[in-house]
Structure 1
């Protein structure tokens, strides 16, 4: 009998564990149903969907998404909205007995406290699944956009749902540690503020410290081609998984669970290993590629010829060539055919190494040196008459900037890197050619006039290159945009030789184009 008693006790223990496991799963399903119907969850999901729909509907650069940026951008709203809901709802579920004064009565429940905490942790998985579905829908929609460039990183995409589960588990742990309803919202606020502040390129401190936040901020001033990113997204996902395991272990241990040593070791290994891996500096090859892309992009680019124009781009951005070409053709359509047929190139540039942070001032001398470097590289690549584009593109300001650079290149044939104030008839000509290139460009020009009383800068926003139109010339250009395009275009073609001369003043341009304006003294700082 003694020999049979031990196996009997083992069988009883196994049945008890199995019964408690089934009860924990049932309670977890109940908590999940309660969580999904909670007002905080509903508001969070609707807010997230509304934010995504708004981002799609406002157009502009969102019509031309850079996918390697989108998979990181989405992580912050996922953390704040969906992760915040998981944090708060999970915390409220644990504090339910405290809030309703039934904590003492819970002692008579059959299911022990660690198993009940396990049920709360299982319910958190619902938020992770919900976040995964919403993130994948967003990824499919953005990738299907006609102007989408680059590609998404699956490790980046899954970091958002992992953060949601992590915050939900953290809410359960905080409910075990603090009997307060304010701890969870304050924790979310602190994480949101820290992550948002650290996402700026101008944020102080070591940039690698940001990788220890739930969402790893990117501190580049502009989108980079995928081969220049070298983001340790897989390591960060492993780090998040390790922290999640440690939070779960802490919650179970606080509830009275004791058989968590092995899980704690696994979580610690994942967190330490991922943490070390994610702060390892990029390899020498990546750094060399970034320097080369910034100084001599032609060696990393592919060129697409459209008639007499060559578009030289990083491979990720070939999909934007059609958009650039549409704007360029709209400008060339309004210039004399002999000028329109001359060879030209559009080269994409990126600032991947040695960029200046906010508050830094770029002097005219620095602009001249950069322009000389760009032009020397373009000449060596066989594209001397080059217009610059960056790694952002969209309707409005970006169309206007490209159109203005194309128009100025038609007049001056100087090549990349133009910087300065353009005055007189040439300013009017460049401004009108740029504004009429598309409805978005015209709208952007009118908005610039409304915002700036001293004029407007037209060019590539990422580099500051371009031309500035003084207020008088800008006002004349906006007046011309209100007139029929064909009427103005006919006058431009008839008087192209005079309008394109450096010494033709603004008043004379107004007379030629039928919009008289008072003459103004020449600005000594104007481009020759």
Structure 2
């Protein structure tokens, strides 16, 4: 018996003994992983938008499959990836959590092999995710209006990200043997990743492509021949990171001879990452050429007396376009000008890359260049259709463009108000065309102030009708459709005359016209009319995300029962305030900003509403953060007045940076620039070599505290003045560049 107990156990010499044992353990761990409540919850969260769309009938009937594959990555990153990280971390720590480490040390299977089994257990879950992604894309592809084909590399990113996050959870278990490691790391990663995703939309290419998921710098679809996503190389890059993390976890478990494979994986990852930046000059030239003239990638069809030209893979949308066009033409006894043509365009080298023009003259110049190109191609005064389609607002935007062409005889030019009877007639035609365009008109009206604005963000074109002009048309839409249509057809010639006033429109059709001084949304509007649409247009995601992260930081001691001194609690509040204030850098972001230059409402009013809403929200957040800090065990007294002044100054810094950045950033989005800038300035202020320094421990009292906070108050006043000046100053003039020349010009 003594010989049996003291004899060494030999397993290494058994061929494949460790490998077979690791595979057996991996099978058990994989089954437990798939049954874990977090895994089930993550999968349900991932599919919940699809179930909601089916249940409510809001599913997009015209999906762009390539973009759909990319859209799945964001939800997959946070829902599936986050769940995989926490679940894998808990599984790898199971022995430690149950105080069984010593028992596990007696097992034949060594720690590196157990770590390998934990990593292999992730593969079945990644396979389930791959099946879900494939099923979703197949379901979208079966819809009659589906466009294009999905990029398989983009589709494969979702299961790859899930495997990567699971591997990170295993690595964390080897680095930090605590059950809270993964949740804390996930919160930090979520904040950093969310800021990275937002910055990736407007930031440099290297930043977008260094993230686990690659976000485009545009908000609309492109024809497949113009897409320049290095999706295959990005997938290899992601796989390289996965291998590096897995080898690091195995090495941390005590494995030997992994240095060479680890270095090889790092080299592969670096090479794949660098390969993403290899551009294609020929593709860039093609993008510029197609932006000027889409004919090389277009197919034309004639339905009735209307000709439609769409990009080759977008032709399934023509039937839906025709339904809208027929609805507009039904009430028009005649079409003014040349034969009606609807021609699809895309600004392939435009808003996301080359900037835009933010003044009316340049906007008109740009769109007029496209109109001249259409005339040269044999389609004079063609109605421009973009690559955004599927919602009621998209249908209303196309109906407005067709109605403008039918009424005026020319295609619309951006940043031009449509007034008089023509403007009222345009609104009525949009609301009368189809139920979808009527719903879209109501939505646009709810989200607009001063004027009803139809915007195509893929082209950055706008049709704006002042609220006073739109009011009689909206009143006419409440009458029986047949009665209103008969009145319009009987008075068409006078209604379509540009010299006819809106008062005459009301007299001919028997609808009231508001008095000029009492228009619903003119520049003289009073009260709170501007508030609801402005609040709806705010980008709440970054603001809410930063606020939640900051509140979690402030609530940390209370959640974990940690006792901190006054100095530490003060620094915790400062860090939480800095995190929450970062979200305010996105308060002035408005993707519709370049399309609203014709709206007769001063821009500073909307900015004032945004700033007030942001400050009220930050004040409420600060109260919640202070309450959370006081809920923790520790000193009961903190110098809240001084800390509140610091927090207000940091919030004002973010708003000032946002107000300045939004004036000079493409598409009216300054947050990705303002957030890191405000963070850098705040840190610079704190570490500045001043006497006394700007950061004073919260437990300090006396003259030093008073002197420092007089400085903070002065800084707050300067930042408030800076914000006011930046918001009220005339908009900066930005000239666009489009390829090597302007659209429609050589």
Shift of 1:125: 0.9
Aligned pair partner of 1:502 in 498, 510, 522: 498
Question: Where does residue 449 of structure 1 map in the other structure?
Answer: 445
C-alpha distance after superposition, 1:385-427 (max 9, x if no partner)? 2111111102311111111111110111223535411122211
Shift of 1:33: 1.5
Change in 2 beyond 3 A, CA 1:153/1:204: closer
Question: Where does residue 256 of structure 1 map in the other structure?
Answer: 254
Question: Where does residue 113 of structure 1 map in the other structure?
Answer: 111
Contact 1:223 1:391 in 2 (8 A): yes
For residues 241 and 487 of structure 2, the distance between their equivalents in structure 1, rounded to whole angstroms, comes to 69
For residues 13 and 106 of structure 1, the distance between their equivalents in structure 2, rounded to whole angstroms, comes to 16
Contact 1:312 1:348 in 2 (8 A): yes
Task: Flag as ranges the 4+ runs of structure 1 deviating above 4 A.
Answer: 12-15, 55-61, 200-205, 356-361, 518-526
Structure 1 residues 6-85: aligned runs within 5 Å: 16-55=14-53, 62-85=60-83
The CA RMSD measured in Å over matched residues stands at 2.7
Shift of 1:514: 2.8
Structure 1 residues 121-520: aligned runs within 5 Å: 121-200=119-198, 203=201, 205-261=203-259, 263-280=261-278, 282-336=279-333, 338-339=334-335, 343-355=339-351, 362-518=358-514, 520=516
For residues 250 and 45 of structure 1, the distance between their equivalents in structure 2, rounded to whole angstroms, comes to 28
Contact 1:334 1:433 in 2 (8 A): yes
Instruction: State the secondary structure of the residue aligned to 2:314.
Output: helix
Change in 2 beyond 3 A, CA 1:450/1:237: closer
Instruction: State the secondary structure of the residue aligned to 2:487.
Output: helix
Change in 2 beyond 3 A, CA 1:119/1:356: closer
Contact 2:401 2:411 in 1 (8 A): no
Deviating more after overlay: 263-272 vs 287-296? 263-272
Change in 2 beyond 3 A, CA 1:258/1:55: farther
C-alpha distance after superposition, 1:187-241 (max 9, x if no partner)? 3344444444344477564222221221112112422111111211111111112
Deviating more after overlay: 447-456 vs 121-130? 447-456
Shift of 1:273: 2.4
For residues 519 and 316 of structure 1, the distance between their equivalents in structure 2, rounded to whole angstroms, comes to 49
Shift of 1:357: 7.7
Shift of 1:109: 1.8
Question: Where does residue 547 of structure 2 map in the other structure?
Answer: none
Contact 1:63 1:147 in 2 (8 A): yes
Change in 2 beyond 3 A, CA 1:100/1:86: same
Question: Where does residue 676 of structure 2 map in the other structure?
Answer: none
* Structure 1: segments with no counterpart, 5+ residues: 1-11
Contact 1:61 1:393 in 2 (8 A): no
For residues 150 and 44 of structure 2, the distance between their equivalents in structure 1, rounded to whole angstroms, comes to 24
Deviating more after overlay: 453-462 vs 476-485? 453-462
C-alpha distance after superposition, 1:347-392 (max 9, x if no partner)? 1121221426899662111112112211110011100021111111
Question: Where does residue 96 of structure 2 map in the other structure?
Answer: 98
Shift of 1:491: 0.5
For residues 44 and 288 of structure 2, the distance between their equivalents in structure 1, rounded to whole angstroms, comes to 43
Instruction: State the secondary structure of the residue aligned to 1:302.
Output: strand
For residues 82 and 168 of structure 1, the distance between their equivalents in structure 2, rounded to whole angstroms, comes to 10
Aligned pair partner of 2:86 in 85, 88, 100: 88
* Structure 2: segments with no counterpart, 5+ residues: 1-9, 524-597, 600-746
Change in 2 beyond 3 A, CA 1:193/1:446: same
Shift of 1:242: 1.5
C-alpha distance after superposition, 1:322-352 (max 9, x if no partner)? 111110011011110x428961111112122
For residues 199 and 385 of structure 2, the distance between their equivalents in structure 1, rounded to whole angstroms, comes to 21
Q: How high is the TM-score relative to the length of structure 1?
A: 0.90
For residues 63 and 77 of structure 1, the distance between their equivalents in structure 2, rounded to whole angstroms, comes to 20
Deviating more after overlay: 455-464 vs 428-437? 455-464
For residues 278 and 258 of structure 1, the distance between their equivalents in structure 2, rounded to whole angstroms, comes to 33
Question: Where does residue 5 of structure 1 map in the other structure?
Answer: none
Contact 2:96 2:177 in 1 (8 A): yes
Contact 1:395 1:441 in 2 (8 A): no
Question: Where does residue 549 of structure 2 map in the other structure?
Answer: none
Instruction: State the secondary structure of the residue aligned to 1:399.
Output: helix
Instruction: State the secondary structure of the residue aligned to 1:136.
Output: helix
Change in 2 beyond 3 A, CA 1:192/1:66: farther
Change in 2 beyond 3 A, CA 1:133/1:367: same
Shift of 1:254: 1.1
Change in 2 beyond 3 A, CA 1:57/1:425: farther
For residues 195 and 225 of structure 1, the distance between their equivalents in structure 2, rounded to whole angstroms, comes to 29
Shift of 1:70: 0.9
For residues 145 and 171 of structure 2, the distance between their equivalents in structure 1, rounded to whole angstroms, comes to 44
Instruction: State the secondary structure of the residue aligned to 1:466.
Output: strand
Contact 1:310 1:344 in 2 (8 A): yes
For residues 271 and 453 of structure 1, the distance between their equivalents in structure 2, rounded to whole angstroms, comes to 50
Question: Where does residue 7 of structure 1 map in the other structure?
Answer: none
For residues 365 and 513 of structure 2, the distance between their equivalents in structure 1, rounded to whole angstroms, comes to 37
Deviating more after overlay: 85-94 vs 254-263? 254-263
Change in 2 beyond 3 A, CA 1:101/1:109: same
